[in-house]
Amino acid sequence: MPTPSMEDYIEQIYLLIESKGYARVSDIAEALSVHPSSVTKMVQKLDKDDYLVYEKYRGLILTSKGKKIGKRLVDRHDLLEKFLQIIGVKVENIYQDVEGIEHHLSWNSIDRIGDLVQFFEEDPERVKALKILQEKNEEEM
């Protein structure tokens, strides 16, 4: 399994390739707010571990293993954002909160959160009931 840092890179590379058709070292560095030299080192490690194929000055492509993990990481991120929205977390906090928790939850926990999101999405009345409870609790504070 990739480390949390490796996950960040794989996720970002996956997103760049999905949106632009390619991912350059400079694009990855900008997206992750790191130095290009750091990206080069990580890309070489990801190449060694068969998550991508990297040729200096020619670019990189994700392997099937890298694509599979990249998609799963993006789906995890999206699921956690959706979950935090449903439970009423302030919009301005969601991205940072997801970044803070996504690497610290087991895949079993992610799957259970997915079940909970599905539970709420299947019946919008459940979301309304949660909002009413939250408003009640805020009034009592």
In this predicted model, what pLDDT tens digit does every residue of 6-27 receive, in sequence order? 999 999 999 999 999 889 999 9
Q: Which of 3.40.50.2300, 1.10.3720.10, 1.10.10.10, 3.30.365.10 is the CATH number of 4-69?
A: 1.10.10.10
What's the CA gap between 114 and 47, in Å, rounded?
31
Hey, where are the domains in the chain? 4-69, 73-140
Residue 42 CB burial class (10 angstroms; 0-12, 13-18, ≥19):
buried
Task: Name the pairing type of β-strands 52-55 and 59-62.
Answer: antiparallel
Over the chain, what is the mean pLDDT?
94
Which amino acids are annotated as binding site for Mn(2+), given as ranges? 8, 11, 77, 99, 102-103
Which amino acids are annotated as binding site, given as ranges? 8, 11, 77, 99, 102-103
Q: Which of 3.40.50.1000, 3.80.30.10, 3.30.428.10, 1.10.60.10 is the CATH number of 73-140?
A: 1.10.60.10
DSSP SS3 for 54? strand
Percent of the chain with pLDDT over 70: 100
Q: What are phi and psi of 77, to 5 degrees?
A: -60, -50
